[in-house]
Amino acid sequence: MAIDPYAPIFVISVAAELAEMHPQTLRQYDRLGIVSPSRQGGRQRRYSQRDVEMLREVQRLSKDGVSLEGIRRILELENQVAALRSRVTELQAELSNARRSADPRRVFAAGVAGDVVSLAGGQRPEGRSQALVVWRPKH
C-alpha cells in the first residue's frame, strides 16, 4: 500500500532530519509561508512527504544563491502552473466528452451584433442577414 505523499505524518524533528535542516529553519520557512505544514491538535506541525521534498528544493535553490523571497515566489509560481495544468486536463476531457456527444450536423451563425445562433444542418439565418455561418465539413 502506497503512502499518500500529502499525508501529514512527520513531526518537525523527523522532517528536519529528512530534509537535512535544523528544526528552527523549518519554523522560519513556515513563518515566511515558504513551506506550510499541517497543524495537529495543540498547534503541532506535521509535515508530509511532499513538504519534505519542497524543503529539499528550497535548500537546493538557497545553495544556488536564490533569496528566500525568490524561493517563495518560485514555489508559488510552480503551484500555479500545476493548478493550471490540472485545469487544462479537466477542460480537455470536457471538450472531448462534448465532441463525442455533439450533433455533427449542428451549425452556428454569428450575427452582426455578435450574437451566436445554433442552427440545424441546412438551415439559414432568418431574414436578410449579413451573418457569418460556420460549419465543419464532413470528412
Q: What is the pLDDT of residue 42?
A: 72
Q: What is the pLDDT of residues 67-121, one digit of tens each?
A: 999 999 999 999 999 999 999 999 999 988 887 876 666 667 766 677 777 766 6
| pLDDT value of position 59 | 94
Nearest to residue 117, comparing CAs of 108, 106, 126? 108
The single residue listed with the C-alpha cell 524543503 is 55
Is 70 exceeded by the pLDDT of residue 16?
A: yes
CATH number of 12-101: 1.10.1660.10
For 19-55, write each residue's pLDDT tens digit: 999 999 999 999 999 999 998 877 889 999 999 999 9
Query: Given this model, what pLDDT does residue 2 score?
Result: 80
Percent of the chain clearing pLDDT 90 (strictly above): 56
Query: What mean pLDDT is reported for the chain?
Result: 85
CB-CB neighbours of 29 under 10 Å:
23
d(CA 85, CA 122) in angstroms, rounded, equals: 39
Alpha helices by DSSP H, 20-102: 23-32, 49-63, 68-101
Residue pair 15/52 in contact by the 8 Å Cβ criterion: yes
Cα–Cα distance measured from residue 24 to residue 94, given in angstroms and rounded to the nearest whole number: 46
Global pTM exceeds 0.75: no
If you compute the radius of gyration of the chain from its CA atoms, what whole number of angstroms results?
Answer: 27
User: DSSP letter string over 8-31?
Assistant: --B-HHHHHHHHTS-HHHHHHHHH
Most confident of 1-5, 107-111, 126-130: 1-5
